[in-house]
Amino acid sequence: MTTGTRLAQRSLERVVETFAEGKPYDLFFLSVRGARLVGRKTEAAYPGPDRADRPAERLKCGLVEAHMLLGVAEREQVAEDHVAVFYRPLAEAEKAALFAEAAADPLTDLYHPYAQLGDRIREAAEAEVGGWEVTEERVRELDHAEAVLRDYVPERLAWLGFDGGLAYDAACSTGAFLAAVGHRFPAARTVGQDLSAEMVAYARPRLDEAHCADSIRPAIPEGGADLVICRHLNAFVVGTRQAHELFAAAASRCRPGGYLVLLGHTPILISSQWCEMSGLRMVQRSAATPSGHALFQCYILRG
C-alpha cells in the first residue's frame, strides 16, 4: 500500500446496506497488494471509451470503475438486517493507482461477498426462468448487457491457447455469446443448452446444436467439452446453493486440460476459492476493458 502509514490515521467511514431497502450484493471487494479494498457498484460507462462508435451510456452491469472504490476495508459486520463495512477512505488518485494495478493482474480477486439477503427470496426469479417471452427487445437487452464480455472472452481464450473443439454453453440464452466464440474459432463446434424452449428456438440458428433442458443434466457427456461456458451461476439468475450444484454439473463436462469460463453481468455466486477446492486451476479471476476504465469478474479455469 503506497498509502501505508498514513492510512491508519485517516478517519474511519462505513458503508451500510440494509437487506430490505439496500443492496448488500452491490458491495464488492478487490484484493490489491494484500489489502482488501471495498467498493459499491453503481452505473458504469458502457461499453466505455473503447467503443467510440457506440452511444455513451451508463449501465448497472458487471463493470466496476475506480471511482466506485471506497477505501481499504478494516472490518465488516453482518447484522440481522444490514451489512456494514468499515473502511479507511482513499483519495481519487489513490483509487486510480490501485485500480490500475488491479487491472494489470488478471488474477486480481474481484468479488461480491454478499448474496441477496433477508426476505428477498429469489423464488420469483426462479419461477420466471421457464417462461421468458423472447421478444426482439428482450434479446437486444440481454445481448447488450453482455457486449463487453463477448468482446473480451473469445480473444482472451485465443491468447491463452484455446483453438477450437467442443464449446458448450450450459445456459446459452439467446446464443449470442456462444456464437461469438464460434465466430472467433471456426473449427469449434458450438453446443448450447437452455431451460427455456423459446430461448433454444431463438438460439438454434446461431449454433451448431441447441438443447432444451435444465443444465443440472448437461446435454453433453462427462469430460466432453474443450470449453465450458457458465453465464448462469450469478445473482438474480439462481441462488447460491443451486449455483454450486450447477457448477459441479458444468465442471464435470470439462475435459482435463479444457477451459471453463464463469462470468455474467451480475455477481458470480461461486468463489474462486471454491473453484480451486474443486480441483480446477485458476488462470484468471478478473478482466479489464481495453482502455482499463473498468474491471469485471471473469473466471477462466483449466480442468
| Count of other CB atoms within 10 angstroms of residue 271 | 17
CB of 216 to its own copies, least distance (A): 18
Q: How far apart are CA 166 and CA 189, in angstroms?
A: 5
Residue among 62 and 239 whose Cβ is closer to its own copies: 239
Buried b (16+ CB within 10 A) or exposed e, 63-99: bbbbebbbbbbbebeeeeebbebbbbebeeebbbbbb
Residue among 147 and 233 whose Cβ is closer to its own copies: 233
Q: How far apart are CA 179 and CA 271, in angstroms?
A: 27
Residue among 128 and 141 whose Cβ is closer to its own copies: 128
Q: Which residues bind its own copies (CB under 8 A)?
A: 11-14, 24, 34, 74-84, 86, 109, 111, 113-117, 121-122, 239-241, 269, 271-274, 276-277
Q: Chain centroid to CA 295: how far?
A: 10
CB of 81 to its own copies, least distance (A): 7
3-state per-residue secondary structure call for 53-105: CCCCCEECCCCEEHHHEEEEEEEEEECCCEEEEEEEECCHHHHHHHHHHHHHC
Residue among 49 and 118 whose Cβ is closer to its own copies: 118
Q: Do residues 285 and 272 make contact, with C-beta atoms less than 8 angstroms apart?
A: yes
Q: Give me Rg for the CA atoms of the chain.
A: 19
Bridge partners of residue 288, in order along the sequence? 295
Residue 120, C-alpha cell as written in the block: 428477498
For 171, the enclosing helix (H) or strand (E) is none
CB of 222 to its own copies, least distance (A): 24
Residue among 77 and 135 whose Cβ is closer to its own copies: 77
Residue among 34 and 257 whose Cβ is closer to its own copies: 34
Residue with grid cell 469478474, as numbered in its chain = 297
CB of 87 to its own copies, least distance (A): 9
